[in-house]
């Protein structure tokens, strides 16, 4: 190789070595930079893990959302009772505190941590900030949206004190009433499903603010498997600070009756007071109820239920006398100013017997409740449970009344906000009422709800257990209930005596309606028998005689109901 060539090669090799050095230095620099960054991050994570509840929210670096973990153990019954307190957080800094889905039973150290979202970071937050609420038109929009979402003006409710006092609605004579000093203790049971914060907490505070401590054993808040975030850790933490309030969580959806029965088994008070999760009590509401139950343990009592308007949150006074009734469609309602023989206007503080009571607030002796069969466990989620309990209490040895010196206001909803998995749930519950308690009178209900009739026939619900209970308690029949407790319920004589096709044995044809006239009850024709059910008619006994004589047809295939 020539000397020139070997010099050129050496120079090239030196240049490559220099470039390699540069590359190494670059790589080293990068590696050091990465190490430094990860070290910093780790330090930051350690800080979070150390004690997040003590970290002031406003000092968080980066995005405002801090995600850490809550031990999933805490999601079991009694959630929230042993969680780290949120003392360092201001209530208005904290929009939601809720458990993370990543919690694990093998990480007990994660128990003291929470996931937090600052105001405004939660996109469909139902709870508006106070500043936004002040802007007039925006407030109206928020209010409309909240009515749609909750069935009442929750945005307005948020701005009303949790400790507001209702205007006095009791009759002046109530103030002269004296109650025994040794009244039984009460457990107030409040079952809730997806109840907004303001109405739920106003209910709880209203009970605490209006009830003498010596009569209140406890307030049992029972979460019927709500998913709303404000009802998770935030609620657990808030309730743990309230004396005498216990929070129970159900691990499956129980519905109104199931939830109340479950809570009753855990209650310690002598008297159970079931209360809806959106009520406000009037001062002195509990004593008159306890007094009546103490005098007769089989007496089930209700306050006068005043009404909180779903839009304005104004308080509407219910006129006395009032009592609970139901119709043949098995719909419950309060009947104001009924013409009652046992009502004497000169004695405005006397309780009045009531054929039924609504479920919004109801006081019942705990032992009597258990012995009379609690709520029917066969009923699903919601509806007609108050009618079932009413007929059962009366028929099986108890009684019901409205006590006028006790008043509680109930929020009337614009619509029911929560979703039911079963659209015919209410019907299914009514079918149980009819089949278990109404004997032959059940047909009057089925005639008013043909779909219920079909459901009952296709499903034949299992009512054996409840019929056994009815027998073992020696309960009276529905005829007794109608004639003794609720004689005002008119028993309609619309009972068809016969139904089927009217078949003329002479011509071999059937009575038929001209098309489209079935509803108006037009003159009938004679037509070939179709056999499809389209010619089925129903006749009352009177009409049957008239028609049969007049048209001289015999009822070949007419069958008695």
**Contact positions toward ligand UDP, by CB under 6 A?**
191-193, 195, 224, 253, 255-256, 259, 276-277, 360, 381-382, 413, 416
- Contacts of 441 by beta carbon, 8 Å cutoff, 6+ apart: 478, 479, 482, 491
Smallest gap, in angstroms, from Cβ of residue 402 to Mn ion? 17
Residue 172: CB atoms within 10 Å: 9
276 or 291, CB closer to Mn ion?
Answer: 276
Smallest gap, in angstroms, from Cβ of residue 422 to Mn ion? 19
> Which contiguous run of DSSP H or E holds residue 538?
strand 537-539
Side-chain-side CA neighbours of residue 180 (13 Å):
11
Q: Which does 195 bind (CB under 5 to 8 A by kind): Mn ion, ligand UDP, none?
A: ligand UDP
248 or 259, CB closer to ligand UDP?
Answer: 259
> Considering CB under 5 A, how many residues would be counted as binding Mn ion?
1
Site string for Mn ion, 274-313 (x = CB under 5 A): --x-------------------------------------
Smallest gap, in angstroms, from Cβ of residue 384 to ligand UDP? 10
d(CA 500, CA 242): 65
- Contacts of 128 by beta carbon, 8 Å cutoff, 6+ apart: 142, 155, 158
Express the helix, strand and coil content of the chain in percent, nearest 5 each: 40, 20, 45
Strand partners, 222: 191, 248
122 or 420, CB closer to ligand UDP?
Answer: 420
Q: Which does 35 bind (CB under 5 to 8 A by kind): Mn ion, ligand UDP, none?
A: none
Q: Which does 390 bind (CB under 5 to 8 A by kind): ligand UDP, Mn ion, none?
A: none
Residue environment code for 324-333, b if the CB has 16+ CB neighbours within 10 A, otherwise e: bbbebebebe
Query: Beta strand pairing status for 322-326 and 332-336?
Result: antiparallel
- Contacts of 181 by beta carbon, 8 Å cutoff, 6+ apart: none
380 or 396, CB closer to Mn ion?
Answer: 380
Smallest gap, in angstroms, from Cβ of residue 279 to Mn ion? 8
Q: Which does 416 bind (CB under 5 to 8 A by kind): ligand UDP, Mn ion, none?
A: ligand UDP
Task: Name residues contacting Mn ion, limited to 453-512 (CB under 5 A).
Answer: none
Residue 220: CB atoms within 10 Å: 26
Smallest gap, in angstroms, from Cβ of residue 195 to ligand UDP? 5
184 or 359, CB closer to ligand UDP?
Answer: 359
Q: Which does 277 bind (CB under 5 to 8 A by kind): ligand UDP, Mn ion, none?
A: ligand UDP
- What radius of gyration do the chain's Cα atoms show? 34
Give the Å distances, CA to CA, from 155 to 95, 228, 438, 521.
15, 16, 44, 52
Smallest gap, in angstroms, from Cβ of residue 151 to ligand UDP? 8
Q: Which does 408 bind (CB under 5 to 8 A by kind): Mn ion, ligand UDP, none?
A: none
Smallest gap, in angstroms, from Cβ of residue 412 to Mn ion? 8
275 or 393, CB closer to Mn ion?
Answer: 275
Q: Which long-range contacts (CB under 8 A, 24 or more apart) does 509-516 make?
A: 510/535, 511/535, 511/537, 511/551, 511/553, 513/537
Smallest gap, in angstroms, from Cβ of residue 233 to ligand UDP? 20
Residue among 259, 250, 262 nearest 381 (CA): 259
Q: Which does 193 bind (CB under 5 to 8 A by kind): ligand UDP, Mn ion, none?
A: ligand UDP
Q: Which does 381 bind (CB under 5 to 8 A by kind): ligand UDP, Mn ion, none?
A: ligand UDP
Site string for Mn ion, 226-245 (x = CB under 5 A): --------------------
Choices 48-56, 70-78, 269-277, 387-395; region in contact with Mn ion by CB under 5 A: 269-277
Smallest gap, in angstroms, from Cβ of residue 277 to ligand UDP? 4
Give the Å distances, CA to CA, from 64 to 56, 89, 94, 118, 208.
12, 14, 12, 6, 36
210 or 277, CB closer to ligand UDP?
Answer: 277
Q: Which does 266 bind (CB under 5 to 8 A by kind): Mn ion, ligand UDP, none?
A: none
Side-chain-side CA neighbours of residue 427 (13 Å):
15
Smallest gap, in angstroms, from Cβ of residue 145 to Mn ion? 21
Q: Which stretches within 189-252 are classed as H helix?
A: 197-210, 233-240
Does the protein bind Mn ion through residue 401 (CB under 5 A)? no
Smallest gap, in angstroms, from Cβ of residue 247 to ligand UDP? 14
218 or 276, CB closer to ligand UDP?
Answer: 276
115 or 410, CB closer to Mn ion?
Answer: 410
The number of helices, as runs of H, and strands, as runs of E, in the chain is 16, 20
Strand partners, 510: 503, 527
Compute the Cα dihedral for 137, 142, 146, 149 and give only its sign: positive
Site string for Mn ion, 187-226 (x = CB under 5 A): ----------------------------------------
Choices 143-151, 256-264, 268-276, 319-327; region in contact with Mn ion by CB under 5 A: 268-276
Strand boundaries in 226-298, DSSP class E = 245-249, 271-275, 279-281
Strand partners, 555: 503
Q: Which does 255 bind (CB under 5 to 8 A by kind): Mn ion, ligand UDP, none?
A: ligand UDP
What does the CA dihedral 426, 378, 449, 532 come to, rounded to 10 degrees?
130
By CB under 5 A, name the binding residues for Mn ion.
276
């Amino acid at each position: 190789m020539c000397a020139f060539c070997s010099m050129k090669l050496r120079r090239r090799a030196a240049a490559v070595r220099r470039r390699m050095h540069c590359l190494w230095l670059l790589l080293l620099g990068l590696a050091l930079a990465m190490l430094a960054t990860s070290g910093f991050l780790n330090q930051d994570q350690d800080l979070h893990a150390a004690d997040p509840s003590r970290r002031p929210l406003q000092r968080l670096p980066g995005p405002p959302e801090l995600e850490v973990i809550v031990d999933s153990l805490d999601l079991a019954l009694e959630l929230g009772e042993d969680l780290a307190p949120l003392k360092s957080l201001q209530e208005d800094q904290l929009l939601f505190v809720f458990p993370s889905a990543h919690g694990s039973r093998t990480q007990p150290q994660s128990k003291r941590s929470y996931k937090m979202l600052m105001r405004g970071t939660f996109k469909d937050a139902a709870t508006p900030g106070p500043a936004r609420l002040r802007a007039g038109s925006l407030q109206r929009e928020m209010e409309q949206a909240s009515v749609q979402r909750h069935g009442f003006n929750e945005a307005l409710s948020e701005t009303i004190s949790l400790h507001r006092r209702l205007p006095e609605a009791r009759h002046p004579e109530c103030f002269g009433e004296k109650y025994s000093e040794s009244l039984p203790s009460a457990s107030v049971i409040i079952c809730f499903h997806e109840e907004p914060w303001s109405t739920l907490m106003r209910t709880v505070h209203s009970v605490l603010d209006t009830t003498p401590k010596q009569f209140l054993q406890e307030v049992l808040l029972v979460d019927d498997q709500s998913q709303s975030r404000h009802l998770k850790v935030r609620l657990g933490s808030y309730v743990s600070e309230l004396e005498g309030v216990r929070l129970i969580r159900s691990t499956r959806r129980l519905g109104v009756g199931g939830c109340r029965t479950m809570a009753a088994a855990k209650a310690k008070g002598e008297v159970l007071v079931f209360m809806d999760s959106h009520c406000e009590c009037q001062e002195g509401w509990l004593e008159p109820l306890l007094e009546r139950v103490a005098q007769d343990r089989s007496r089930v009592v209700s306050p006068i239920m005043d009404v909180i308007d779903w839009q304005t949150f104004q308080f509407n006074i219910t006129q006395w006398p009032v009592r609970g009734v139901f119709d043949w469609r098995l719909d419950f309602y309060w009947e104001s100013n009924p013409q009652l023989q046992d009502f004497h206007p000169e004695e405005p503080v006397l309780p009045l017997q009531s054929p039924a009571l609504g479920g919004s607030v109801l006081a019942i002796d705990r032992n009597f409740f258990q012995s009379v069969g609690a709520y029917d466990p066969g009923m699903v989620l919601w509806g007609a449970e108050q009618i079932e309990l009413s007929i059962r209490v009366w028929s099986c040895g108890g009684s019901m009344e409205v006590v006028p010196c006790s008043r509680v206001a109930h929020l009337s909803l614009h619509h029911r906000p929560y979703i039911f998995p079963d659209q015919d749930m209410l019907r299914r519950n009514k079918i149980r009422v009819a089949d278990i308690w109404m004997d032959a009178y059940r047909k009057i209900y089925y005639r008013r709800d043909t779909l219920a009739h079909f459901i009952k026939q296709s499903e034949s619900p299992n009512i054996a257990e409840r019929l056994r209970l009815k027998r073992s308690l020696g309960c009276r029949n529905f005829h007794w209930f109608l004639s003794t407790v609720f004689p005002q319920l008119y028993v309609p004589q619309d009972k068809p005596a016969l139904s089927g096709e009217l078949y003329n044995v002479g011509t071999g044809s059937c009575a038929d309606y001209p098309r489209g006239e079935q509803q108006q009850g037009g003159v009938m024709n004679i037509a070939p028998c179709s056999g499809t059910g389209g010619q089925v008619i129903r006749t009352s006994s009177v009409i049957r005689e008239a028609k049969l004589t007049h048209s001289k047809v015999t009822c070949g295939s007419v069958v008695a109901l």
